[in-house]
């Protein structure tokens, strides 16, 4: 069911969010929204009582200094500046997996861009049958339903598109993120985000694609299971301060939409070039475990289909799926 339009309080919040760290004058807000100055002030007070920290400075106006650390529709909707992604939001406290609900919704006819978010997953899933650590209230667990106009053979490109958006969102949050093929986002060699793409298609038509994104935002070392403590990290650990989760989520959806639009308009070539520029893999000596076999060599390039080209002793190998281990820089 489509959600109602933003109310005045959410519109005031949307204005403040759009200004990011700048002040917006009460006069501008009241003029643009057709509200009295007293009504703007009333909404600011109501927002403060909901946990938003809004600074007020004489002659400058209002500034959004902090948003409540919740990923509900009330927090997310005013921050979104997308045309499709997240226009319908399904926010839950607890889910086995956001991908599972998104797949169910897609089967029932969910529209392109519907988003599922959960505060916690009890059976979060990773690639290749692994589980995804999903503690409550710390990170981002999000799945987007897409209905792309693509032949099924090209659907895997969307995972690489999503990895660009996740990498860029992490960089905007102030960390030096890069992508390990195909779509792990690393900071300082440790994994901070992963993407699980699932789809339903017929030989010549994609029905839906669900792109599931997990980003470790505010997890502490103790939040990770023992076996991940050395190889995984969170943005908060890497940048030394917590990440406002709702702002990060809105920025990620906006970047994802921009990359999806670019992919639809310009094709895979633009994505391929951007992926190369953000790659933590190319030029590195790697070992790839693919379908029980191991390929070793130097990761030379991403080909025009998204496969990884590895130059080993026996020549050039084209890897379409697998787990990459980074060995050393050449
Ligand atoms: C990986 O790197 O193995 C992929 C991890 C994908 C995790 C996300 S969290 C949101 C969505 N729901 C899931 O169950 N998995 C994906």
For the chain, give percent helix, strand, coil, nearest 5.
35, 30, 35
Q: What is the pTM of this model?
A: 0.90
Mean pLDDT calculated for residue range 107-114: 98
Nearest-atom index, ligand 1, CA of 193 = 2
- CA-closest residue to ligand 1 atom 9: 214
* Residue 329, pLDDT above cutoff 60: no
Cα(324) to centroid(ligand 1), Å:
17
Lowest mean pLDDT among 86-100, 250-264, 311-325: 311-325
Q: Which residues contact 144 (CB under 8 A, 6 or more apart)?
A: 85, 102, 113, 114, 115, 116, 210, 211, 213, 253, 256
Pairing of strands 115-121, 89-95: parallel
* pLDDT range class, residue 45, cuts 50, 70, 90: very high
* pLDDT range class, residue 3, cuts 50, 70, 90: very low
Fill in the DSSP letter of residue 226: G
Note the pLDDT of residue 222. Answer: 94
Q: Which residues line ligand 1 (CB under 6 A)?
A: 97-99, 121, 124-127, 130, 132, 141-143, 184, 194-196, 212-214
Lookup: tokens for 60: 């400058």
């Amino acid at each position: 069911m489509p959600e109602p339009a933003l109310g005045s309080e959410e519109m005031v919040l949307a204005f403040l969010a759009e200004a990011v760290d700048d002040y917006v004058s009460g006069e501008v807000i009241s003029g643009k929204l057709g509200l009295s100055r007293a009504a703007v002030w009333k909404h600011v007070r109501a927002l403060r009582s909901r946990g938003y920290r809004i600074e007020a400075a004489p002659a400058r106006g209002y500034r959004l200094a902090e948003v409540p650390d919740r990923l509900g529709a009330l927090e997310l909707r005013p921050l979104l500046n997308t045309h499709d992604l997240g226009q319908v939001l399904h926010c839950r406290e607890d889910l086995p997996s956001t991908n599972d609900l998104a797949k169910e919704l897609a089967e029932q006819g969910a529209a392109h861009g519907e988003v599922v978010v959960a505060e916690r997953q009890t059976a979060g899933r990773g690639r290749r049958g692994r589980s995804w650590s999903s503690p409550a209230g710390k990170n981002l667990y999000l799945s987007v339903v897409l209905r792309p106009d693509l032949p099924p053979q090209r659907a895997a490109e969307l995972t690489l598109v999503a990895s660009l958006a996740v990498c860029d969102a992490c960089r905007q949050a102030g960390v030096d993120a890069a992508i390990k093929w195909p779509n792990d986002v690393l900071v300082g060699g440790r994994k901070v985000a992963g993407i699980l793409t699932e789809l339903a298609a017929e030989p010549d038509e994609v029905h839906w694609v669900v792109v599931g994104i997990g980003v470790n935002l505010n997890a502490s070392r103790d939040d990770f299971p023992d076996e991940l403590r050395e190889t995984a990290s969170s943005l908060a650990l890497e940048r030394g301060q917590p990440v406002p989760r709702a702002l990060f989520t809105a920025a990620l959806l906006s970047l994802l939409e921009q990359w999806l639009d670019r992919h639809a308009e310009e094709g895979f070539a633009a994505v391929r070039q951007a992926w190369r520029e953000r790659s933590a893999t190319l030029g590195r000596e790697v070992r790839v475990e693919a379908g029980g076999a191991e390929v070793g060599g130097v990761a030379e390039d991403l080909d025009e289909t998204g496969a990884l080209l590895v130059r080993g002793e026996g020549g050039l190998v084209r890897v379409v799926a697998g787990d990459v281990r980074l060995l050393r820089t050449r």
